[in-house]
Amino acid sequence: MVDISIILTQLIEILIGLGIIAGLIWIWKKRNWSVLKKAAITIIFAAGVFIAFIGLLAFTLISGDQANYLTQGTNIGKINFDEVISNAQKAGYKVDNPTGINSIQEIGLHPSNIKELDNQFGENYRFWSAGYFYNQNVYFSTVKYQNSPETKITETEISFYKEDGTYTPFQPGDLPPDEWIIEKFRLIFDISEQESRNYLMQLKDSIGKGQETKISIRKDINVAAVYSNLKETSSNSSISPTGGDGWFKETFYSDGKKIGFLDLIIPNTVITFQDKGHEYSITIDRLGGVRPGIKLSAGEKIPEEEYRGVFKEMFVNLGLPPEKVDEFKFEYNPSVW
């Protein structure tokens, strides 16, 4: 109903706009009316339109309002994602395309030559960004953006950060040594030393000109080279737990200190079930991240025993451990406004 009301509201707004134009044209085409009379009628007409607009706005806010039960996403451990999707379809649940990241194919890229990551995360994972730590306080990240889907022009944003608890602006003296930066640029972008030095000069020029220290360049990230380097120079790595949206970070360590990271995305989906006019949803990703939620009429509530029971039944039907539902803490919001 919310979506339909929004569509109807937009159509009414268009009709009101056309009515305003037609009405003004009609008023000012009346040659036997004085300018004063036309102005007075225009003011009255405008006031009526304004009142109608306020009423329409109020209708939109009221009809679009809803209550919800929200949870923080958590990871329930290893799952068979494809089997969960199949079970959802068999149970008659609605299975939506990936959410949170909208369409996973539109974000990042899938490196075609890293079999280890394919085996670990599946062939549909996407690379988002990579970075290196100079020390535990100073690091930089590289993120690839596609400026225009039509032209396929991509840019990589290079950003340096300082996290020492002082919250002071990044200063030239905060940068790592030139040779360290040049070496990393050459590795990440597969470029010459001179190109690396040119980008370093651009980076230094950017310091103090904004809130962030960053530049954008038209170079692709050599993900395979970065991953290989991090594997060779690290003693171990850790993967941040997902919470349903599919975003996670693999951080690499050497002697207990962070040396670099990869930000990756794996497929996720939303499984929904309608019960007594309430929409129960489970956002779930391939690595076992899960986030349940409920949508219902504004101000309406559901007994906790009832909604946990519904989710436990959904978990059973999906092939997930129902006892995990007890670990979620639901927060009730009576209205989105």
Under 8 Å between Cβ of 311 and 282: yes
**Separation of alpha carbons 309 and 278, rounded Å:** 14
The per-residue pLDDT for range 86-125, each reduced to its tens digit, is 999 999 999 986 544 445 556 778 898 899 999 999 888 9
Q: Please compute the mean of the pLDDT values over residues 262-269 and round it to a whole number.
A: 93
Q: What is the pLDDT of residue 69?
A: 95
Q: Where are the beta strands (DSSP E) in 163-299?
A: 213-217, 236-239, 247-254, 257-265, 268-275, 278-285, 289-296
- % of residues, the chain, pLDDT over 70: 75
Strand partners, 130: 142, 262
Identify which of 197, 214, 196 has the alpha carbon closest to the alpha carbon of residue 159: 214
Q: Which residue has the tokens 């009423």?
A: 55
- Name the token pair of 29: 């085409």
Predicted confidence (pLDDT) per residue in 160-199, tens digit: 999 887 777 888 899 999 999 999 999 999 999 999 999 9
Q: What is the mean pLDDT of residues 7-13?
A: 59
Q: What is the structure's pLDDT at 128?
A: 92
Q: Which residue has the higher pLDDT, 60 or 329?
A: 329
Confidence of residue 148 (pLDDT cuts 50, 70, 90): low
Among 53-57, 106-110, 116-120, 262-266, the minimum mean pLDDT is found in: 53-57
CB within 8 Å of 251: residues ≥ 6 apart: 237, 238, 240, 258, 260, 261
Q: Which residues pair with 160 in a beta bridge?
A: 140, 213
- For the record, the structure tokens of 317 come out as 């039907």
* Rounded Cα–Cα distance for residues 303 and 178 (Å): 61
* 321 phi/psi in degrees, rounded to 5: -65, 115
For tokens 């009142």, the residue is 51
Phi/psi for 168 (5° steps) reads -90, 150
Residue 268: closest CA among 135, 94, 101, 121? 101
What pLDDT is stored for residue 123 in this prediction?
85
The stretch 245-268 carries a mean pLDDT of 95
pTM of the model: 0.76
How far apart (Å, rounded) are the C-alpha atoms in residues 274 and 307?
12
Report residue 333's pLDDT band, with 50, 70 and 90 as the boundaries.
very high
- Please name the helix (run of DSSP H) or strand (run of DSSP E) that holds residue 41, with its range, or none: helix 35-63
Q: What is the model's pLDDT at position 281?
A: 97
- In DSSP notation, 68-103 reads EEE---EE-----HHHHHHHHHHTT-EEPPP-SSS-
Between 169 and 213, the more confident residue is: 213
